[in-house]
């Protein structure tokens, strides 16, 4: 007998009370494999769906290119030279920063390398770097290559934070203990704002303060945090942060990424950096002078002129986020994940167990559930879930991730997902 709280009719009642329900119509939600039926799209943690208005913005950008050519840099619907600068104020509101301290540029891992070129400055006595052992692989590759580039051995230089035996989540106290233990040799702390596999939100303020007190720089990978959970980089005083824009921000596949540099470093002339001409002060950028004069703020880390076609979708996406309101989106996010988590516990606890924190302040809008039983059974359940029209994603060996997004997902999506999983697990 299904729990009445999670019936489709109960979910529909919740949707009718949802002040953000109207935003769902702003998105082109993916279809099932038959190309006809609507899918239950719960995969915004990997790639957000396309806002409908993106098509118009892209077409206008293409029209400007076609009709103006090079003149589009300075004229047209939205001139290209100030394109990313014009988006900085909206972006800054999502990460709690001054517009001067954020920039859209490159891809996430390129930005991570650029930030480490400035903020990982190892010495013979202080060259250790703290990262989680289960970090997203690209972060691990970047860290290892940076350490080797400086002539050190990753085997000795990397300090790994990891869950305790038999646990899935990192404990803040364990991270703080590692920082204190290795304070004498720690050069950089680099952690995720939200852990990609479990959906755990890290205690960014406490970890930032501890890392800096130990004499290290502190940076955050916000790939799974931006557009998902409240971020206050300036208040937390992080040295830098990087992120991508194609997940919760719905910027499109391969969308331009972003970075934050603390106001303390805006005009730090002694801070090393890898420079490019687009990071040069605008007043002299086009004078083609041989001496680099960086823009004050995060813009000074830019390398080349921005890819306008992979930036254009963010014109729409950022506007939608700010129209909905960061606080309102967070309230709905908590409600959706509460609804999903309580449904899993009430209806599916003998088949699935959540490895995402139960405390709403410690999670975003992602839920990661471990399928009980064999790995083969877990994979079969995930495959059948997809065949029945639920688009989530899989992490080896036995974890299914779903992400009910506050701008385009509904309580009915969650209830349908629960019903489908009940049907599947009853026979598999």
The structural domains of the chain, ordered by start, are 4-51+326-427 (3.90.1150.10), 81-305 (3.40.640.10)
At 26 the pLDDT is 98
Query: Is residue 3 scored above 70 in pLDDT?
Result: no
Cα 121 to chain centroid distance, Å, stands at 26
Distance CA 41, CA 142 (A): 31
At 128 the pLDDT is 98
pTM given for the model: 0.96
Contact between 400 and 368 under an 8 Å Cβ cutoff? The reply is: yes
pLDDT tens track for 303-343: 999 999 999 999 999 999 999 999 999 999 999 999 999 99
Query: Is residue 2 scored above 80 in pLDDT?
Result: no
pLDDT band at 36 (very low <50, low <70, confident <90, very high): confident
Which segments of 244-351 are extended strands (E)? 258-261
Q: Average pLDDT over the chain, rounded to whole?
A: 96
At 4 the pLDDT is 55
In angstroms, what CA-CA distances link 259 with 112, 256, 280, 325, 337?
A: 8, 10, 17, 22, 28
pLDDT tens track for 162-177: 999 999 999 999 999 9
At 34 the pLDDT is 86
- Region 245-258: what's the mean pLDDT? 97
């Amino acid at each position: 007998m299904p729990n009445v709280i999670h019936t489709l009719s109960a979910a529909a009642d919740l949707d009718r009370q949802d002040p953000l329900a109207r935003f769902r119509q702003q998105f082109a939600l993916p279809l099932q494999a038959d190309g006809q039926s609507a899918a239950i799209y719960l995969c915004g943690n990997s790639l957000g769906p396309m806002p409908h208005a993106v098509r118009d913005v892209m077409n206008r950008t293409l029209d400007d290119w076609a009709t103006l050519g090079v003149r589009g840099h300075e004229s047209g619907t939205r001139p290209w030279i100030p394109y990313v600068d014009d988006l900085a104020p909206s972006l800054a509101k999502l990460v709690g920063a001054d517009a001067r301290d954020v920039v859209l540029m490159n891809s996430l891992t390129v930005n991570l390398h650029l930030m480490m070129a400035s903020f990982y400055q190892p010495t013979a006595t202080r060259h250790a770097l703290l990262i989680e052992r289960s970090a997203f692989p690209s972060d691990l590759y970047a860290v290892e290559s940076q350490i080797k580039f400086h002539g050190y051995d990753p085997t000795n230089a990397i300090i790994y934070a990891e869950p305790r035996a038999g646990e899935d989540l990192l404990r803040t106290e364990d991270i703080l203990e590692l920082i204190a233990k290795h304070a004498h040799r720690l050069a950089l702390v680099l952690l995720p704002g939200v852990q990609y596999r479990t959906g755990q939100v890290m205690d960014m303020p406490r970890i930032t303060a501890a890392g800096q007190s130990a004499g290290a720089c502190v940076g955050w990978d916000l790939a799974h945090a931006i557009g998902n959970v409240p971020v206050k980089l300036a208040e937390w005083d992080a040295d830098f942060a990087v992120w991508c824009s194609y997940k919760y921000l719905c910027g499109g596949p391969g969308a331009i990424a972003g970075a934050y540099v603390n106001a303390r470093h805006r005009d730090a002339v002694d801070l090393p950096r890898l420079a490019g001409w687009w990071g040069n002060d605008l007043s002299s950028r086009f004078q083609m002078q041989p001496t680099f004069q960086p823009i004050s703020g995060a813009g000074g880390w830019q390398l080349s002129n921005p890819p306008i076609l992979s930036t254009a979708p963010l014109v729409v996406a950022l506007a939608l986020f700010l129209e909905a309101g960061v606080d309102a989106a967070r309230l709905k996010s908590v409600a959706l994940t509460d609804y999903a988590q309580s449904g899993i516990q009430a209806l599916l606890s003998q088949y699935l167990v959540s490895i995402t924190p139960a405390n709403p302040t410690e999670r975003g809008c992602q839920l990661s559930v471990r399928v009980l039983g064999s790995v083969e059974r877990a994979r079969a359940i995930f495959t059948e879930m997809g065949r029945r029209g639920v688009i989530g994603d899989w992490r080896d060996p036995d974890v299914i991730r779903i992400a009910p997004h506050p701008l385009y997902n509904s309580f009915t999506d969650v209830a349908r997902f629960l019903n489908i999983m009940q049907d599947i697990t009853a026979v598999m």
